[in-house]
Amino acid sequence: MHAGMRVRVLFHANCFDGAASAALFTAFYRERIDPSAEFAYTGMHHTMGDPFPPGCMDGAENVCVDFRYNASPKLTWWFDHHVSAFMSPADEATFHSRPKDRFFFDPQSRSCTKFLVERASTVHGWDASRFAELVYWADIIDGAQFPSAKAAVEMAEPALRLMTWIENNKDPALAERYIADLLRLPLAEIVALPYVAEPVARLLASNQGAVDIWRKRARAQDGVVFADVSEDAVESANKFIPYFLHPECRYAVSVSKTATRSKVSIGSNPWSDIPRSVNIAQICERYGGGGHPVVGAVSLGGGDIVRAREIAGEVVEELRRAALAEVSSAAGRPRGG
């Protein structure tokens, strides 16, 4: 290794877990591989087709965390936990030939952050104990382990406010600043910094507006709540709002739109005690999207809102059938069995 080498880190953009993974890889690499390495970051977005733009791997080392695998020989480190990690069987085949001390995948892990720390500790002897707060919250947020929908929507905790900030930040330079701050400050101090605190105040107010819009737009039927908010100015829409308003629902589907993207978001109620029978990531993959078994999304172009609505309609019907079958199955199980 040459001192001062450039390390490019590709990370899941607009995601608490993605930014935390990028930060902790940086700390690990500096402490266990090359203390003088220079880091540059690129936020990655799931899109139709290949999401890796040409030239994105321009470092001496190229790292991808909390995002899909890439078969390019330029990729030198990879950590991920998404079940939709591989874009093709051919790509997955190349993963198995990669160095086992640099390429890591576990779709059972709730968060990439905790998975990265565990692998870096076990394989490379890295001590990440000082980042315990960040690891804890990344696992709570990405695994939807909140105590209630109310807690998730009200966002009183600093980590949840940071989650909202990163999900809505559109400035790559601020994302890099945030990653650097994760390495040096407690979460409560980061959320108080002006570049975070000012947008967060606005986003919290917008979140209340999103609750009101969902209350107006949402239609719940057969265990699925659906809302098309593509015509509404929703700056910040907490993904747990559907279950806060309709706790009886098993699944939620929404359609939203920005100037550059039409999006279908699909999720399952983490507070439901009825077993889930569908893999949401697999549903999303059929339409070019991805995610986790419990939550996922399909992103299309800004002008593809009609197609987004068609996809949402198909998914809603599929999930309604699944929800009815799940409830029926649960009702037929012997109590205590």
- What's the rounded Cα separation, in Å, for the pair 300 and 264? 8
- What's the rounded Cα separation, in Å, for the pair 29 and 4? 12
pLDDT at 2: 47
pLDDT at 334: 53
Q: What is the DSSP letter of 13?
A: T
286 Cβ neighbours under 8 A, 6+ residues apart = none
Domain that holds residue 74: 6-142
Same domain, 138 and 266: no
Q: What is the DSSP letter of 240?
A: T
The reply to whether 76 falls in a domain is yes
- What's the rounded Cα separation, in Å, for the pair 242 and 52? 32
The reply to whether 103 falls in a domain is yes
Same domain, 121 and 223: no
Q: Which of 100, 121, 142 is the last residue of a domain?
A: 142
Tens of pLDDT, residue by residue, the chain (337 residues): 445 799 999 999 999 999 999 999 999 999 999 999 999 999 998 877 789 999 999 999 999 999 999 999 999 999 999 988 998 999 999 999 999 999 999 999 999 999 999 999 999 999 999 999 999 999 999 988 999 999 999 999 999 999 999 999 999 999 999 999 999 999 999 999 999 999 999 998 888 888 999 999 999 999 999 999 999 876 556 889 999 999 999 999 999 998 888 999 999 999 998 999 999 999 999 999 988 899 999 999 888 999 999 999 999 999 999 999 999 988 876 544 4
Phi and psi for 162 in degrees, rounded to 5? -65, -35
- Count Cβ atoms within 10 A of the Cβ of residue 221 and give its class: 0-12 exposed, 13-18 middle, 19 or more buried: exposed
- Count Cβ atoms within 10 A of the Cβ of residue 100 and give its class: 0-12 exposed, 13-18 middle, 19 or more buried: exposed
Same domain, 10 and 138: yes
Same domain, 126 and 10: yes
What predicted TM-score, i.e. pTM, was given to this entire model? 0.80
Q: Which of 142, 167, 196 is the last residue of a domain?
A: 142
Domain count, the chain: 2
Same domain, 222 and 138: no
Beta strands in 45-124 (DSSP E): 61-65, 77-80, 103-105
pLDDT at 337: 40
215 Cβ neighbours under 8 A, 6+ residues apart = 245
| C-alpha dist (Å) from residue 119 to 62, 65, 128, 133 | 18, 13, 11, 18
pLDDT at 112: 98
- What's the rounded Cα separation, in Å, for the pair 270 and 149? 9
- What's the rounded Cα separation, in Å, for the pair 87 and 141? 25
Q: Which amino acid does the sequence have at 108?
A: Q
Beta strands in the chain (DSSP E): 6-12, 38-44, 61-65, 77-80, 103-105, 219-221, 224-228, 251-257, 261-268, 290-291, 295-301
Q: Which of 121, 142, 163 is the last residue of a domain?
A: 142
194 Cβ neighbours under 8 A, 6+ residues apart = none
Phi and psi for 79 in degrees, rounded to 5? -130, 125
- What's the rounded Cα separation, in Å, for the pair 164 and 143? 16
The reply to whether 173 falls in a domain is no
Same domain, 138 and 225: no
Query: Looking at residue 107, which CATH number applies to its domain?
Result: 3.90.1640.10
Structure tokens at 99: 């160095």
Longest dimension (CA), the chain: 64
